[in-house]
Amino acid sequence: TPPKIRVEFDQSTGVAVMHMQSPPVNSLSLDFLTELCISVEKLEMDKSCRGLIITSAQPKVFSAGLDITEMYGKSPEHCGAFWRSVQEMWLKLYGSNMVTVAAINGSSPAGGCLMAMTCDYRIMADNPRYNIGLNETQLGIVAPFWFMDTMKNTVGQRTTEMALQLGLLYKPADALKIGLVDQLEPEDQVIAVATQTISRWLAIPDHARQITKSMMRKKTIDKLTSNRESDIQFFVNFITKDSIQKSLGGYMEMLKKRRA
Protein backbone atom coordinates (compact mmCIF):
# COMPACT_ATOMS: atom_id res chain seq x y z
CA THR A 1 0.00 0.00 0.00
CA PRO A 2 1.27 3.51 -0.82
CA PRO A 3 2.38 5.72 2.08
CA LYS A 4 -0.42 7.69 3.73
CA ILE A 5 1.94 10.48 4.76
CA ARG A 6 4.40 12.31 2.54
CA VAL A 7 6.99 14.52 4.19
CA GLU A 8 8.86 17.20 2.31
CA PHE A 9 11.74 18.65 4.31
CA ASP A 10 13.47 21.89 3.31
CA GLN A 11 16.97 21.76 4.79
CA SER A 12 17.53 25.47 4.11
CA THR A 13 14.56 26.66 6.20
CA GLY A 14 14.34 23.79 8.68
CA VAL A 15 10.65 23.39 7.85
CA ALA A 16 8.92 20.12 7.00
CA VAL A 17 5.59 19.92 5.22
CA MET A 18 3.54 16.85 6.02
CA HIS A 19 1.00 16.00 3.34
CA MET A 20 -1.76 13.66 4.45
CA GLN A 21 -2.61 11.49 1.47
CA SER A 22 -5.01 8.76 2.52
CA PRO A 23 -7.91 8.68 0.05
CA PRO A 24 -10.65 9.55 0.02
CA VAL A 25 -10.85 11.73 3.13
CA ASN A 26 -7.72 11.22 5.30
CA SER A 27 -9.74 9.45 7.95
CA LEU A 28 -7.58 8.62 10.96
CA SER A 29 -7.25 4.85 10.87
CA LEU A 30 -4.88 2.81 13.03
CA ASP A 31 -2.45 2.47 10.09
CA PHE A 32 -2.68 6.16 9.24
CA LEU A 33 -2.05 7.23 12.83
CA THR A 34 0.85 4.82 13.22
CA GLU A 35 2.49 6.21 10.10
CA LEU A 36 1.83 9.78 11.17
CA CYS A 37 3.35 9.21 14.62
CA ILE A 38 6.49 7.66 13.14
CA SER A 39 6.88 10.64 10.78
CA VAL A 40 6.43 13.19 13.55
CA GLU A 41 8.84 11.35 15.82
CA LYS A 42 11.51 11.26 13.12
CA LEU A 43 11.18 15.01 12.55
CA GLU A 44 11.14 15.68 16.29
CA MET A 45 14.45 13.86 16.70
CA ASP A 46 16.04 15.66 13.76
CA LYS A 47 17.73 18.74 15.26
CA SER A 48 17.70 20.50 11.89
CA CYS A 49 13.91 20.36 11.71
CA ARG A 50 12.35 23.26 13.63
CA GLY A 51 8.96 23.72 12.01
CA LEU A 52 6.15 21.50 10.77
CA ILE A 53 3.27 22.36 8.46
CA ILE A 54 0.44 19.84 8.33
CA THR A 55 -1.78 19.82 5.27
CA SER A 56 -3.89 17.57 3.08
CA ALA A 57 -3.16 16.20 -0.36
CA GLN A 58 -6.82 15.21 -0.75
CA PRO A 59 -9.24 17.61 -2.43
CA LYS A 60 -11.87 19.33 -0.24
CA VAL A 61 -10.94 17.57 3.00
CA PHE A 62 -8.21 18.21 5.57
CA SER A 63 -9.20 15.15 7.59
CA ALA A 64 -12.59 13.51 8.18
CA GLY A 65 -11.54 12.68 11.74
CA LEU A 66 -11.37 9.26 13.28
CA ASP A 67 -12.01 6.42 10.91
CA ILE A 68 -15.45 5.26 11.97
CA THR A 69 -14.85 1.78 10.55
CA GLU A 70 -12.13 1.31 13.22
CA MET A 71 -14.78 1.70 15.91
CA TYR A 72 -17.71 -0.11 14.34
CA GLY A 73 -18.12 -3.87 14.79
CA LYS A 74 -14.53 -4.26 16.02
CA SER A 75 -13.23 -6.27 18.99
CA PRO A 76 -12.47 -4.53 22.29
CA GLU A 77 -8.77 -5.32 21.70
CA HIS A 78 -8.84 -3.59 18.34
CA CYS A 79 -10.71 -0.59 19.73
CA GLY A 80 -8.14 -0.33 22.53
CA ALA A 81 -5.17 -0.40 20.15
CA PHE A 82 -6.89 2.14 17.94
CA TRP A 83 -7.57 4.49 20.85
CA ARG A 84 -3.97 4.27 22.03
CA SER A 85 -2.87 5.45 18.60
CA VAL A 86 -5.28 8.41 18.73
CA GLN A 87 -3.83 9.37 22.13
CA GLU A 88 -0.31 8.97 20.76
CA MET A 89 -1.01 11.30 17.82
CA TRP A 90 -2.37 13.96 20.18
CA LEU A 91 0.49 13.61 22.68
CA LYS A 92 3.12 13.85 19.94
CA LEU A 93 1.59 16.86 18.22
CA TYR A 94 0.32 18.81 21.23
CA GLY A 95 3.64 18.26 22.97
CA SER A 96 5.84 18.94 19.96
CA ASN A 97 8.90 21.16 20.35
CA MET A 98 8.61 22.19 16.72
CA VAL A 99 6.57 25.17 15.59
CA THR A 100 3.46 23.56 14.13
CA VAL A 101 1.09 25.18 11.66
CA ALA A 102 -2.07 23.61 10.29
CA ALA A 103 -2.72 24.51 6.65
CA ILE A 104 -6.39 23.52 6.66
CA ASN A 105 -7.21 23.20 2.98
CA GLY A 106 -10.57 21.46 3.40
CA SER A 107 -13.17 20.27 5.89
CA SER A 108 -11.93 19.26 9.28
CA PRO A 109 -14.56 17.65 11.51
CA ALA A 110 -14.00 15.95 14.87
CA GLY A 111 -10.58 14.25 15.01
CA GLY A 112 -9.52 16.44 12.08
CA CYS A 113 -10.34 19.51 14.13
CA LEU A 114 -8.50 18.01 17.10
CA MET A 115 -5.39 17.53 14.99
CA ALA A 116 -5.58 21.12 13.71
CA MET A 117 -6.04 22.39 17.29
CA THR A 118 -2.80 20.74 18.42
CA CYS A 119 -0.92 23.17 16.20
CA ASP A 120 0.46 26.55 17.24
CA TYR A 121 -1.32 28.37 14.41
CA ARG A 122 -4.18 27.57 12.02
CA ILE A 123 -4.69 28.91 8.51
CA MET A 124 -7.87 27.79 6.77
CA ALA A 125 -8.96 27.96 3.14
CA ASP A 126 -11.61 30.63 2.75
CA ASN A 127 -14.22 28.40 1.16
CA PRO A 128 -17.73 28.41 2.71
CA ARG A 129 -18.21 24.78 1.69
CA TYR A 130 -15.66 23.71 4.27
CA ASN A 131 -16.26 23.37 7.95
CA ILE A 132 -14.43 22.62 11.15
CA GLY A 133 -15.45 21.68 14.67
CA LEU A 134 -15.96 18.95 17.22
CA ASN A 135 -19.26 17.44 16.05
CA GLU A 136 -19.13 14.28 18.20
CA THR A 137 -22.56 14.77 19.81
CA GLN A 138 -24.09 14.67 16.33
CA LEU A 139 -22.84 11.07 16.09
CA GLY A 140 -24.28 10.31 19.53
CA ILE A 141 -20.83 10.14 21.08
CA VAL A 142 -19.05 12.30 23.62
CA ALA A 143 -15.77 14.05 22.93
CA PRO A 144 -13.17 12.78 25.44
CA PHE A 145 -11.94 15.17 28.17
CA TRP A 146 -8.68 15.90 26.36
CA PHE A 147 -10.53 16.87 23.16
CA MET A 148 -12.56 19.24 25.35
CA ASP A 149 -9.46 20.59 27.07
CA THR A 150 -7.74 21.23 23.74
CA MET A 151 -10.72 23.21 22.49
CA LYS A 152 -11.04 25.09 25.78
CA ASN A 153 -7.38 26.05 25.54
CA THR A 154 -8.04 27.31 22.00
CA VAL A 155 -11.35 29.19 22.19
CA GLY A 156 -12.27 29.35 25.90
CA GLN A 157 -14.84 27.70 28.15
CA ARG A 158 -18.08 29.35 27.03
CA THR A 159 -17.59 28.83 23.30
CA THR A 160 -16.45 25.26 23.92
CA GLU A 161 -19.53 24.46 26.05
CA MET A 162 -21.85 25.58 23.31
CA ALA A 163 -19.86 24.14 20.42
CA LEU A 164 -19.52 20.73 22.04
CA GLN A 165 -23.09 20.32 23.24
CA LEU A 166 -24.50 21.29 19.86
CA GLY A 167 -21.75 19.46 17.96
CA LEU A 168 -21.23 22.63 15.90
CA LEU A 169 -19.34 22.64 12.65
CA TYR A 170 -18.23 26.16 11.73
CA LYS A 171 -17.74 27.66 8.30
CA PRO A 172 -14.33 29.31 7.93
CA ALA A 173 -15.65 32.85 8.58
CA ASP A 174 -17.34 31.72 11.81
CA ALA A 175 -14.35 29.63 12.87
CA LEU A 176 -12.23 32.77 12.49
CA LYS A 177 -14.72 34.80 14.54
CA ILE A 178 -14.52 32.44 17.53
CA GLY A 179 -10.75 31.99 17.19
CA LEU A 180 -10.89 28.33 16.23
CA VAL A 181 -8.71 29.29 13.26
CA ASP A 182 -6.34 32.26 13.17
CA GLN A 183 -6.39 33.32 9.54
CA LEU A 184 -8.28 32.69 6.29
CA GLU A 185 -6.60 32.63 2.91
CA PRO A 186 -7.62 31.77 -0.64
CA GLU A 187 -7.38 28.04 -1.08
CA ASP A 188 -4.34 28.11 -3.39
CA GLN A 189 -2.40 30.35 -0.97
CA VAL A 190 -2.83 28.38 2.24
CA ILE A 191 0.45 26.49 2.15
CA ALA A 192 2.48 29.48 0.91
CA VAL A 193 1.11 31.67 3.71
CA ALA A 194 1.78 28.90 6.22
CA THR A 195 5.40 28.89 5.09
CA GLN A 196 5.69 32.68 5.55
CA THR A 197 3.97 32.51 8.93
CA ILE A 198 6.19 29.77 10.27
CA SER A 199 9.31 31.78 9.45
CA ARG A 200 8.07 34.53 11.81
CA TRP A 201 7.67 31.98 14.59
CA LEU A 202 11.12 30.57 13.86
CA ALA A 203 12.68 34.01 14.35
CA ILE A 204 12.02 33.62 18.10
CA PRO A 205 14.80 31.85 20.02
CA ASP A 206 13.85 28.17 20.08
CA HIS A 207 14.52 27.49 23.76
CA ALA A 208 12.39 30.41 24.99
CA ARG A 209 9.53 29.56 22.66
CA GLN A 210 9.66 25.85 23.44
CA ILE A 211 9.68 26.31 27.20
CA THR A 212 6.79 28.75 26.93
CA LYS A 213 4.78 26.31 24.82
CA SER A 214 5.45 23.41 27.10
CA MET A 215 4.59 25.41 30.24
CA MET A 216 1.29 26.48 28.66
CA ARG A 217 0.36 22.93 27.67
CA LYS A 218 1.87 20.84 30.46
CA LYS A 219 -1.19 20.59 32.71
CA THR A 220 -3.40 19.47 29.83
CA ILE A 221 -0.86 16.91 28.61
CA ASP A 222 -0.13 15.52 32.10
CA LYS A 223 -3.84 14.94 32.62
CA LEU A 224 -3.91 12.44 29.76
CA THR A 225 -0.45 10.96 30.38
CA SER A 226 -1.41 10.05 33.92
CA ASN A 227 -4.81 8.65 32.91
CA ARG A 228 -3.95 6.93 29.67
CA GLU A 229 -4.98 3.39 30.57
CA SER A 230 -8.25 4.40 32.20
CA ASP A 231 -9.04 6.62 29.20
CA ILE A 232 -8.56 3.60 26.91
CA GLN A 233 -10.69 1.43 29.17
CA PHE A 234 -13.41 4.09 29.20
CA PHE A 235 -13.34 4.44 25.42
CA VAL A 236 -13.52 0.68 24.84
CA ASN A 237 -16.44 0.24 27.25
CA PHE A 238 -18.27 3.18 25.72
CA ILE A 239 -17.72 2.47 22.06
CA THR A 240 -18.60 -1.24 22.26
CA LYS A 241 -22.00 -0.57 23.89
CA ASP A 242 -24.91 -1.74 21.71
CA SER A 243 -26.58 1.67 21.77
CA ILE A 244 -23.39 3.44 20.67
CA GLN A 245 -22.70 0.88 17.97
CA LYS A 246 -26.23 1.50 16.72
CA SER A 247 -25.71 5.28 16.49
CA LEU A 248 -22.40 4.81 14.69
CA GLY A 249 -24.03 2.41 12.22
CA GLY A 250 -26.84 4.88 11.61
CA TYR A 251 -24.38 7.72 11.10
CA MET A 252 -22.37 5.73 8.54
CA GLU A 253 -25.59 4.93 6.67
CA MET A 254 -26.43 8.63 6.66
CA LEU A 255 -22.99 9.49 5.22
CA LYS A 256 -23.47 7.02 2.40
CA LYS A 257 -27.10 8.03 1.64
CA ARG A 258 -26.22 11.73 1.63
CA ARG A 259 -24.03 11.08 -1.35
CA ALA A 260 -26.39 8.85 -3.28
Whether 111 is catalytic is yes
Does residue 238 belong to the site contacting ligand CO8 (CB under 6 A)?
yes
Which of 106, 136, 139, 184 is catalytic? The answer is 136
Segment contacting ligand CO8 by CB under 6 A, of 1-9, 33-41, 218-226, 231-239: 231-239
Q: Give min distance, CB of 172 to ligand CO8, in A.
A: 14
Among 22, 107, 150, 154, the residue binding ligand CO8 under the rule CB under 6 A is 107
Q: Give min distance, CB of 192 to ligand CO8, in A.
A: 24
Under 8 Å CB-to-CB from 235, ≥6 apart: which residues?
Answer: 79, 80, 83, 144
Q: Which is nearer to ligand CO8, 14 or 144 (CB)?
A: 144
3-state secondary structure of 15: strand
Residue 253 CB coordination number (10 Å): 10
Q: Give min distance, CB of 253 to ligand CO8, in A.
A: 9
Spatial CA neighbour of 198 closest among 97, 93, 51: 51
Which residues make beta-bridge pairs with 66? 28
Spatial CA neighbour of 140 closest among 33, 258, 241, 233: 241
Q: How far apart are the first and last CA of the chain?
A: 28
3-state secondary structure of 170: strand
Whether 136 is catalytic is yes
Under 8 Å CB-to-CB from 120, ≥6 apart: which residues?
Answer: 99, 100, 101, 201, 213
- Let me know: does 32 contact 6? Beta carbons within 8 Å: no
Q: Using CB under 6 A as the criterion, what x/- string covers residues 58-87 for binding ligand CO8? A: --xx--xxxxxx------------------
Whether 93 is catalytic is no
**Amino acid, single-letter form, for residue 32:** F
Among 18, 20, 25, 52, the residue binding ligand CO8 under the rule CB under 6 A is 25
Gap between the Cα atoms of 45 and 41, Å rounded: 6
Q: Give min distance, CB of 142 to ligand CO8, in A.
A: 5
Gap between the Cα atoms of 161 and 167, Å rounded: 10
Does residue 256 belong to the site contacting ligand CO8 (CB under 6 A)?
yes
Q: Give min distance, CB of 34 to ligand CO8, in A.
A: 16
Q: Give min distance, CB of 233 to ligand CO8, in A.
A: 11
Gap between the Cα atoms of 144 and 79, Å rounded: 15
Which of 14, 65, 106, 111 is catalytic? The answer is 111
Q: Using CB under 6 A as the criterion, what x/- string covers residues 109-148 for binding ligand CO8? A: xxx-----------------------xx--x-xx-x----
Question: Annotated catalytic sites, by residue?
Answer: 66, 111, 135-136
Could you list the residues that contact ligand CO8 (CB under 6 A)? 24-25, 27, 60-61, 64-69, 107, 109-111, 135-136, 139, 141-142, 144, 235, 238-239, 255-256, 259
